[in-house]
């Protein structure tokens, strides 16, 4: 008795695609692969089954009698595979998704939650607000499934998946000449004292800003250190001229004698920190929701600037 090899799901997918498309070229286009890959997989399937599935000509392919008999069975197998995936996804979405978040994510976070509610109504989402270092530690320890983080390029023991970029906002005295510029660039701000939080408070953000200033060829003198947003903005409005910058929010605060301008040449990368390896069904839903929100944001920006 001949010892035949194992039939792979991919081979059945390619077989059905060729049968429906009528040519290897069109099947390859449908599958988004090269035509040689389709021919190779069909050849393997024929060898493993021990039958010829297609009659080939220079322009088209036609199912053989064996191919005609196999086609409905292959479709049934692929339908069953799709059903297995659906059941697995459903089994994973009726549970809980624990997300680390922070102040300042603004409307994007609410949009992500709306997307999750629409895609998986049975999924309970639990938000935990904490400092970035604590969020990362909670993901490593398994207390969170994922966490939104900013600026980071790497996080030992975790994977960082970029999800979107956010602009930064400069706050400066309303009557200062630079307030007439919109948007502002870093090289405009080299002579005005800057108020930043100490590096230990948020090392990645502090390093990003100081590196960007250096790359812009400016070194603004230090101003009053950033404490809280409210107190820092009050000092900008009443004290000696200085400026600071912070993450853009959907609704900017209203502060007397303070102007807000978007920064043109520096944005902040927001990522999802997650455990390495194959993402859980819940995490896949979260990533998909973030992708849709990011795409919607790009479309809105394009409409405003188009």
CATH number, position 289? 3.40.190.290
CA distances (Å), origin 211, targets 197, 203, 214, 271: 15, 12, 5, 20
Q: Based on the domain organization, do 81 and 101 belong to the same domain?
A: no
Higher-pLDDT residue of 305, 263: 263
Q: Based on the domain organization, do 83 and 184 belong to the same domain?
A: no
Q: Which of 92, 122, 154 is the last residue of a domain?
A: 92
Domain that holds residue 264: 97-306
pLDDT of residue 303: 52
Beta bridge partners of 160: 273
Q: How many structural domains does the chain have? A: 2
Q: Based on the domain organization, do 109 and 87 belong to the same domain?
A: no
Q: Please, which pLDDT band fits residue 305 given cuts at 50, 70 and 90?
A: very low
Q: Based on the domain organization, do 278 and 129 belong to the same domain?
A: yes
* Residue keyed to tokens 């812009």: 216
Nearest to 156 by CA among 136, 129, 141: 136
Q: Based on the domain organization, do 19 and 140 belong to the same domain?
A: no
Per-residue burial over 132-169, b if 16 or more Cβ lie within 10 Å, else e, is beebbbbbbeeebbbbbbbbbeebeebbbbebbebebb
Q: What is the CATH number of the domain that holds 78?
A: 1.10.10.10
Q: Based on the domain organization, do 217 and 105 belong to the same domain?
A: yes
- Whether the predicted pLDDT of 231 surpasses 70: yes
Close Cβ partners of 223 (under 8 Å, ≥ 6 residues apart): 192, 193, 194, 195, 240, 242, 243, 244
Q: Based on the domain organization, do 160 and 219 belong to the same domain?
A: yes
In angstroms, the CA 177 to CA 242 distance is 12
**In-domain check, residue 33:** yes
**In-domain check, residue 260:** yes
| 43-53 per-position pLDDT tens digit | 999 998 999 99
Q: Based on the domain organization, do 48 and 120 belong to the same domain?
A: no
The number of angstroms, rounded, from the C-alpha of 153 to the middle of its chain's C-alpha atoms is 14
**In-domain check, residue 221:** yes
Q: Based on the domain organization, do 187 and 273 belong to the same domain?
A: yes
**In-domain check, residue 4:** no
Q: Based on the domain organization, do 301 and 223 belong to the same domain?
A: yes
Cβ atoms of residues 138 and 281 within 8 Å: no
Helix or strand run (H / E) with residue 96: strand 96-101
Task: Provide mean pLDDT across the span 102-127.
Answer: 89
**In-domain check, residue 216:** yes
Q: What tokens appear for 236 in the block? A: 């900008």
Q: Based on the domain organization, do 167 and 247 belong to the same domain?
A: yes
pLDDT of residue 83: 76
Q: Please, which pLDDT band fits residue 3 given cuts at 50, 70 and 90?
A: very low
**In-domain check, residue 21:** yes
Q: Which of 92, 124, 144 is the last residue of a domain?
A: 92
pLDDT of residue 249: 65
> Three-class SS of residue 163?
strand
Cβ atoms of residues 262 and 168 within 8 Å: yes
Q: What tokens appear for 211 in the block? A: 């590196």
Q: Based on the domain organization, do 228 and 304 belong to the same domain?
A: yes
Task: Provide mean pLDDT across the span 23-36.
Answer: 88
**In-domain check, residue 3:** no
Least confident piece of the model among 3-7, 82-86, 237-241: 3-7
Q: Which of 92, 109, 131 is the last residue of a domain?
A: 92
- Whether the predicted pLDDT of 275 surpasses 70: yes
**In-domain check, residue 2:** no
């Amino acid at each position: 008795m001949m010892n035949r090899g194992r039939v792979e799901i991919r081979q059945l997918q390619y077989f059905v695609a060729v049968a429906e498309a009528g040519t290897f070229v069109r099947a390859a286009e449908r599958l988004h692969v090269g035509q040689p890959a389709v021919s190779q997989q069909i050849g393997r399937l024929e060898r493993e089954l021990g039958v010829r599935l297609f009659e080939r000509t220079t322009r088209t392919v036609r199912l053989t009698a064996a191919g005609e008999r196999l086609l409905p069975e292959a479709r049934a197998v692929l339908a069953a595979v799709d059903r297995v995936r659906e059941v697995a996804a459903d089994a994973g979405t009726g549970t809980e998704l624990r997300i680390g978040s922070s102040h300042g994510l603004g409307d994007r976070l609410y949009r992500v939650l709306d997307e999750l509610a629409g895609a998986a109504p049975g999924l309970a989402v639990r938000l935990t607000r904490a400092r970035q270092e604590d969020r990362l530690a909670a993901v490593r320890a398994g207390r969170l499934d994922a966490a939104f983080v900013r600026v980071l390029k790497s996080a030992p023991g975790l994977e960082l998946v970029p999800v979107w970029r956010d602009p930064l906002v400069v706050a400066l005295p309303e009557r200062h000449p630079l307030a007439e510029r919109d948007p502002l660039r870093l090289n405009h701000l080299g002579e005005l004292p800057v108020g930043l939080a100490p590096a230990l408070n948020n090392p990645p953000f502090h390093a990003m800003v100081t590196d960007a200033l250096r790359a812009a060829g400016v070194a603004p003198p230090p101003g009053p250190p950033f404490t809280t947003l409210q107190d820092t903005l009050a000092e900008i409005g009443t004290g000696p001229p200085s400026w600071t910058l912070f993450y853009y929010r959907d609704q900017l605060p209203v502060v007397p004698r303070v102007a807000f301008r978007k920064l043109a040449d520096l944005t902040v990368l927001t990522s999802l920190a997650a455990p390495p390896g194959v993402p859980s069904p819940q995490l896949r839903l979260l990533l998909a929701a973030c992708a849709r929100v990011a795409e919607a944001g790009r479309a809105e920006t394009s409409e405003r600037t188009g």
